[in-house]
Amino acid sequence: MSQKDLAYSADLDRSYIASVESGQRNISIVNLEKIANSLGVSLSELFKGI
């Protein structure tokens, strides 16, 4: 999934996704939940193995 597709499905800006991915920004739990929901996984599944 591209950053653009993820941003659209999670209702976030693509530049926000890029800055989180590159470590320039920290992500909030609210936005983590948006991303998990858009990927069809739970927050616990998102962090599995970390």
- Dump the DSSP string for the chain: --HHHHHHHHT--HHHHHHHHTTSSPPPHHHHHHHHHHHT--HHHHTTT-
CATH number of 3-46: 1.10.260.40
Summarised one tens digit per residue, pLDDT across range 2-50 is 999 999 999 999 999 999 999 999 999 999 999 999 999 999 999 998 8
pLDDT at 50: 86
pLDDT at 43: 94
What's this model's pTM, rounded to 2 decimal places?
0.86
- What's the rounded Cα separation, in Å, for the pair 17 and 10? 10
pLDDT at 48: 92
- What's the rounded Cα separation, in Å, for the pair 30 and 2? 20
- What's the rounded Cα separation, in Å, for the pair 42 and 47? 9
Domain boundaries, the chain: 3-46
